[in-house]
Structure 1
Amino acid sequence: AADVGSRLANNSSYGELPVGAVTALIGGPCLAYLSYRAAQKHREVPKPSASSLDTTTRFLSYRALLGIFGALLVAVTILGMIFGDVKIPLQDVLAAVQGQGPDLARSIVLDQRLPRMLVAACAGAALAVSGLLLQGVVRNPMADPSIVGVSAGAGVGALLLLLVWPELPIALLPFASFVGAIAAALIVYLIARKTGLQPAVLALVGIAVSACGSAVIQLIVVQTKMNVAVALAWISGSTYARGWEELAQLVVWPVLLLPLAWLIGRRVDILAFGQEGAVGLGVNVEQTRLRAAAIGVALAAAAVSIVGTIGFVGLIAPHAARLLIGHNHRRLMPLAALLGAVLLVLADIVGRNLLPPKEIPSGLIVSLLGAPYFLWLMRSSRR
């Protein structure tokens, strides 16, 4: 059916549509529908898991952990400015940051590597806090901006602005991503809500929406004759050639939204006790879910609009933070943000230096770590 559809849509200018993209457009809605039907037959109300409520034995204080990971972020950022096509000595890097040192080192550090590292750190922090909020809202440890379809939706919105309406100002890019992310999140939520937001259903519907979003992205790339290398890097998620302009577009969103996420953290904690328990404690459940989800979606959309569809940061960082300090969302957010920033900066460094002079997109490096972790998490959740 997909092959016939791709040939029927044959255009003399662009040729046949990719059959894989057409398959996803057909199969994605089918998967979402089948997941919904199966869940209706075996409806269960999700209960808070022990891992989400128990506190973890800690060997280090909270402030010590923040200090350690903050110092680690500074260290990996400096490493990112040292290593690359041209290795720059540490003393030249430190001098360049102060506006001194050799002209070549100062140009490479200040114009290329430093803004790129800062973009990776901001995007990683935004994706990590987004994943943390989405997991708290749906009470599902497998929730993540990429898994529940938010990243793909944001990618569709960003590409539509860049390629279909290029005459619009680039400052609208985060807003276009936000619209796409909201649309994807609403589809997933409306379908999964009728089944009690069961974890398996949410993951399957999210995968279906992500597949449809990725298919739309492929069709946009084909129809607009976008450069294949650039398209693949963007779809995979990359910090390549990101500079001060991209940093200025991205940083404003975490600066505005992270404090709001922290303020709503206590109410998100109470959601873990279930609908009746949260209402009994005086929390407006629907309003809290809506606000927390909106903040999480906006953070993911802002990151995707700049670095592309990087997945699994929002899955790994929150879980690592919970293993260290437990469930308190107000304490989790700064630590998860630091972990996400460190993870994406490290992925950028590895991608630049693994097969020089070629660069591997940061999103692929993160996926190599995140995909096995996601499979392990699904197995543990089922058990």
Structure 2
Amino acid sequence: MVQLSHLETLFQRRFNRNADLVVRSPGRVELIGNHTDYNDGFVLPMAIDRECIILAARRPDRKIRIYSELFDETVEFELTPDLIPGQPAWANYPKGVAALLLRVGKTLAGLDIALDCDIPAGGGLSSSAAIEIGYGKTFLAASGETLDPVELALIGQQAEHTFAGAPCGIMDQFICALGKAGHALLLDCRTRQYELVPVPFQHASLLIADSRVKHDLGQSGYPLRRQQCFETVDILKSIYPNITHLRDVTMEMLDSQKSKLDAVHYARAHHVIAENHRVMKMAEGFRTNDLSLAGRMMNQSHASSRDDYEVSCEELDFLVETAQKCSGVYGARMSGGGFGGCIVALVENDHAENVKAALTDAYKKKYNQTLGIFFTGAAEGAEVIRS
């Protein structure tokens, strides 16, 4: 957990004054909905209790000064709509959010800022979206400005596209901005309509295990998978001219045109279409307190992500398979963009510690690596906790 008192001390040492604004912004876990968001599909994320904490104090000028505890580095920039990406790379997130808020007409105040975060970077728990939404909340609150959470989520996504160079979907920013304690968020990525679905965790726990295999979505196979989905749509449009995304394609439509697709493009589309169905079934499992159904959907999702979408890796497969063999595990799957990062498992409370120990021991024995592992509840979305 981020120690607020420690960060307050750092702030005072760096800026010779106390912060007057505190914002927290959570990470998230993708319960299910792997690579469906940029296909206009459905996702079911949940905010977690790992978080970014931002401290700020207003300045009389138009300058932003930010100290990052993670990088032990300070950056400065002027508040202007024509901000551009630069170095260090971590500063492109606040630069992008500030520039985009200015471009939509928000008047922002200069700030001194200190940031700390206990969300594993590159772990598939969306530290980037937490940072974007956290900075957005900070800039707005410090300046007496407001913005609809959906609009803030879209600004966070655009900042990641244009300033960080990562072609992410909309899921991560939405759950960071709109999450509610005790709930998952069922999101239609096309219409942006959402439903807060209560998570029935009275007798179950959500376990997250970080493989410590890191990935960078801007440099990995993520952009390629996105391109392959759009190419598949272009091919299918010759028969179904009204489709715009794989969201519009049924399994029957896909199978009827299988001869027009190579094996890779067919597999990518097969995953997305089936995953959208699994998202809705897992949400149904939560609504009806049927954790066995939810767990089956998680298991099927991982197999599809591994085999059809090919975004898993040896370490994630090992963790998922180990978890699935443990007593009391409803289901387990990789979470996030893939190519490393975390798995998530839904576990009966009576077996939770045994599962945690089994995963920790097995991973250490096979890879000589200490597993990052913790339990989480469903947390609140980004919020100002002191102003």
TM above 0.5, yes or no, is no
Q: Higher RCO, 1 or 2 (CA under 8 Å, sep at least 6)? A: 1
Q: Which band: TM-score by shorter chain?
A: under 0.3
- Structure number having the greater strand percentage: 2
**TM-score (normalizing by structure 1):** 0.24
